[in-house]
Amino acid sequence: MRAGISGAAYTLDRQIAGGMDAVVQDVIQRALADAAIQLADVDMVITVASDALDGMMVPVRSDMAGGFGKSYLNIPSSAGHALMAAASSIEAGDAETVLLVGWGAASKLAEFDSRTNQFDPFYLRPLGASVATLQAMQEQSLIDQGLISREDVGLLASRMSEITWGKSEPATFCDGAAAIVLQQNAAGLIFDHIGFASRAQIPLDGNLDPAIWVEEVTKKLEDPGFIEICGQSPSFELRALAAIPGAKRTNAHGGSSQGWFGPASPLRNLAALHAAAGESGRQSGLLIDLAGPLGQHVTAIQFRAGGSHAA
Amino acid sequence: MRHKDDMAAILGVAQVPMRTRIPEMTYPDLLATVAARAVEDAGLARDEIDGLILAQAPTATLGVDEPQYWGIAGLPGAHAFLGRVHVAAASGLSAVRLAASYVASGRAKHVLVVAADLADEGDSLRGALAQMHDPFTSGQAPINAITAAALQSTHYMATHGVSERIFAAPIVKNRLNGVGNPYAQLRKPVTAEEVLDSPVLSWPIKRLESSPRTSGAAAVVIGKANSKRSVRIEGFGNFAGAKSIGAQMVPGWTSYLDGSDVTQAAQRAYSAAGISNPQQELDFAEVYTSFSIFELLSIEGLGLCAKGEAARRIDAGEFHRGSRLPVNATGGATCGNPISAGALVRIADATAQLRGEAGDCQVEIRHGRAVVTAIGGLFQTHEVGVLAI
């Protein structure tokens, strides 16, 4: 009894004026239409969104996300965690149709990055810890080890920006929303295997190379077809890409380092994969979510094509 | 209904004594303490935990966003972190529901659910909880958790023709129950007059009708039953209601005010657990009572008595610890309410009761079944769980 994707939709923009509610409800309606179902057919709603980006508690807005009357969960830590939760709920028989909705208005972070609040106030913040400094530390460590170069990072960011926005203007933050409909043995991409692993805020073993973490969760996978790797920084997307043996079509939808709207960002890539799988008949693929300031919460979801997408 | 052998079960529980402030422990310290104790209580080794879920409601009280990055370091199962669940004050029970799904699906064998709250880090808990409200619309009205509960209370009084005095009954009962609970923050009894004479927060709610500001932590290990002390999770029911009164644009829709959303969640849980007559099939209930009105609406919504009857029956001695169907036998949130961990505390207390390990707070166990509830947001997301031993 494997969960799979029946429908999906997303919206992405550099900056969305006027709030996210209408955008969220639009992607929900489009995802439901893609799945050829009504909201009434959904029995569970899972949201992925940050209180900090919304400015108010996400679970209090569950009805905005289609949750009224449904069984509801909010899992703001990452899209990978929410996807695992949805799959497990379906596989356990606790839900038949899950609507997974994620959104975020992260464009504001370009002016003031409030993610500094993620660091403990006793030791890390007094040292000046922030997402930017940690990622800079990680990138320098990878450069010092000869694993990447700044030129490589810049080239990747430029290429991902072209794919995501149609032009080379690297910039991380944007606004977006995505909705995924999951059902048992759906017609779309089936969740075949899920691997996951996490490291501490500052990894205790001193390793800052995302390739190690990605290898750990993907070692059971064989010959993945399409790959989409999503992280907050191009440097750890770069290392994660290098860790996949036999990687062929990689980040055809731009990853998320150049289109990051919060923890839900990989849902946008998943929606794009779903749509592309229908068009091209791709048979299998891999979505990797690298959540956290160092990409240290890794979820790898291997897909195979379901009924309508099978060759 | 799942077969008994296929049900997820509570294998281990732990909590720390609740206090207003716990200055000697940081947030990670609290999590690590209850995590270790719960794993030990489950009879497991650390490396047998293959899933970790952090239940954390609003982070404004901690002053740290995305606390999972900070808090889970070194915890059992941290390498297999399954995510943070945030459904406001229902987070703990929602996280246990998710953990049960992981176990039932076979994706994990032993999932540790942890939660902690440090409620005294900031000046105002009510200010921290203001994040529940839309700053553009709700900000124009004096809406907060207290005034919203006050609205429910006045609706209850008008609907059932009762006075504000009825709200003292659950508090007197719970405060008396808390005396015997070594984990309770408030362990002194109060009289009805003391409750009614306490300062008005938002009429008709008095200060002693509201739960205190509490720091605390709890943890639960979920897996397949591994001993006679394992408590099966027979069924869960969750119902997400609406934030705004009348949001559904249906004339006469009063679920926010009359607690019928609790009934929806309860019916789902009872259906999953095969319960048709809760009054006859349950030994006790652990319900979320951050305000007195919540206990009345919860008792009635769970089908433990008719609507409008809860307070009168508490006054008559029903639902007390020595009665046939006790509610909040350890004092409940009335005697301590660490918001993120509160639902896990309900689970821990219910588990101790079913195991016969509740000490001075022990109730009689005849059927080996109990119900626990949690409420998230503005009385809007309802979790109901049926436990059995």
**Contact assignment for A293 to B69 by CB distance below 8 Å:** yes
- For residue B241, the model assigns a pLDDT of 85
CA distance B221 to B317: 35
Q: Does B377 touch chain A (CB under 8 A)?
A: yes
> Cβ–Cβ of B84/A76 closer than 8 Å?
yes
The pLDDT of residue B379: 81
Pairing assessment for the beta strands B369-376 and B284-286 based on DSSP bridges: parallel
CA A136 to chain CA centroid, Å, is 21
DSSP bridge partners of B383:
B238, B374
Nearest CA in chain B to A213: B79
Distance CA A199, CA A116 (A): 19
> Is B82 within 8 Å of A196 when comparing Cβ atoms?
yes
pLDDT reading at B84 higher than 80: yes
Nearest to A63 among B237, B238, B242 (CB): B242
Give the distance from residue A48's alpha carbon to the nearest chain B alpha carbon, in angstroms: 10
Determine the pLDDT at residue B244: 62
The helix/strand/coil state of A236 is helix
A2 three-class SS: coil
CB proximity A251 to B under 8 Å: no
Q: Answer whether A50 sits within 8 Å of B65, measured CB to CB.
A: yes
pLDDT given for residue B253 in this prediction: 59
Residue A280 lies in a domain: yes
Q: What is the pLDDT of residue B259?
A: 82
Range of the structural domain that residue A34 is part of:
3-108+169-304
Q: Which two tokens stand for residue B366?
A: 């005849």
Residue A190 is predicted with a pLDDT of: 87
Q: How confident is the model at residue B62 (pLDDT cuts 50, 70, 90)?
A: confident
CB-CB neighbors (< 8 A) of A196 in chain B: 80-82
Report the candidate in A52, A71, A51 with the shortest Cα–Cα distance to residue A61.
A51
Residue B365 CB contacts under 8 Å (≥ 6 apart), including other chains:
B283, B353, B354, B356, B389
Query: Among partner residues B2, B86, B134, which is closest to A76 by beta-carbon distance?
Result: B86
Question: Where along chain B do its domains lie?
Answer: 4-124+213-221
**Cross-chain Cβ contact B85/A73 below 8 Å:** yes
Helix axes B145-160, B292-301, angle to 10 degrees: 60
A75 and B85 within 8 Å at the Cβ level: the answer is yes
For B381, the closest of A72, A197, A293 (CB atoms) is A72
Q: Could you identify the residue written with the tokens 């489009």?
A: A30
Please list every residue in chain B whose beta carbon sits closer than 8 Å to the beta carbon of residue A138: none
All residues of chain B having their beta carbon less than 8 Å from the beta carbon of residue A119 are 64, 69-70
Q: Which residues of A touch B269 (CB under 8 A)?
A: none
Chain A residue numbers with beta carbons less than 8 Å from the beta carbon of B144 are: none
- The pLDDT score that the predictor gives to residue B139 is 64
What is the ipTM, given to two decimal places? Answer: 0.95
Q: How confident is the model at residue A61 (pLDDT cuts 50, 70, 90)?
A: confident
A46 falls within a domain: yes
Q: Does A63 touch chain B (CB under 8 A)?
A: yes
Q: What is the mean pLDDT of residues A170-176?
A: 95
**Hey, are the CB atoms on B101 and A88 less than 8 Å from each other?**
yes
Q: What is the CATH number of the domain that holds A211?
A: 3.40.47.10
Residues on chain A touching B133 (C-beta within 8 angstroms) = 56, 60
Average of per-residue pLDDT values in chain B: 91
Question: What mean pLDDT do residues B294-299 have?
Answer: 96
- Residue A152 is assigned to a structural domain of this protein: no
Is residue B125 within 8 A of residue B60, CB to CB? The reply is: no
Nearest residue of A to residue B78 by CA position?
A198
Task: Please write the tens of the pLDDT for every residue from A279-301.
Answer: 666 667 889 999 999 999 999 99
B84 chain-A contacts, CB cut-off 8 A: 75-77, 81
| Number of Cβ atoms within 10 Å of the Cβ of B315 | 16
pLDDT over 70 (residue B286): yes
For residue A58, is it within any domain?
yes
Helix, strand, or coil (residue A155): helix
* A76 touches B: beta carbon within 8 Å: yes
pLDDT digits (tens, 9 = 90+) for A73-84: 999 999 999 999
User: Could you tell me the pLDDT band of residue A271, with boundaries at 50, 70 and 90?
Assistant: very high
Structurally, how many domains does chain A consist of?
A: 1
Measured between beta carbons, which residues in chain A are less than 8 angstroms from residue B240?
Answer: 45, 62-63, 67-72
Q: CA of A44, closest CA in chain B: separation in Å?
A: 9
Cα–Cα distance measured from residue B99 to residue B301, given in angstroms and rounded to the nearest whole number: 25
Tens of pLDDT along A77-132?
999 999 999 999 999 999 999 999 999 999 999 998 888 888 888 888 898 889 99
What part of B 36-65 touches A (C-beta under 8 Å)? 54, 58-59, 63-65
Tell me the pairing of strands A71-74 and A44-48: parallel
Cβ <8 Å between A118 and B381: no
Closest CA relative to residue B211, chosen from B122, B127, B335, B329: B335
Work out the average pLDDT over B329-355. 97
At B21, is the pLDDT very low, low, confident or very high (cuts 50, 70, 90)? very high
Which chain A residue has its CA at the smallest distance from B238's CA? A71
321-340 in chain B: CB under 8 A from chain A = none
pLDDT given for residue A311 in this prediction: 37
CB contact under 8 A, A91 and B247: no
When pLDDT is cut at 50, 70 and 90, the band that residue A309 belongs to is very low
In CATH terms, the superfamily for domain B4-124+213-221 is Thiolase/Chalcone synthase (3.40.47.10)
Q: How far is A162 from chain B (nearest CA, A)?
A: 31
CB contact under 8 A, B101 and A77: no
Question: Span B244-266, mean pLDDT?
Answer: 70
Q: In angstroms, what separates the C-alpha of B95 from chain A's closest C-alpha?
A: 8
Report residue B184 as tokens. 């309770």
A218 lies in some domain: yes
In a domain, A98, yes or no: yes
pLDDT at A310: 41
pLDDT of B159 > 70? The answer is: yes
The pLDDT value recorded for residue A2 is 86
For chain B positions 111-170, those within 8 Å of chain A (CB to CB) are 131-135
Pick from B62, B72, B82 the residue to mutate for testing the A interface (most A CBs within 10 Å): B82
How close A76 gets to chain B, by Cα (Å)?
Answer: 6
For residue B252, pLDDT over 70 is answered with: no
A and B: number of Cβ contacts within 8 A: 179
Chain A residues touching residue B79 (CB < 8 angstroms): 197-199
CA closest to B52 among chain A residues:
A198
Could you give the percent of chain A with pLDDT greater than 70?
94
Mean pLDDT highest for which of A72-81, B4-13, B240-249, B255-264?
A: A72-81
| Residue-wise DSSP of A49-114 | --HHHHSS-GGGGTTTTT-TTSEEEE-TT-HHHHHHHHHHHHHTTS-SEEEEEEEEE-GGGGT--G
The tens digit of pLDDT for each residue in B173-187 reads 999 999 999 999 999
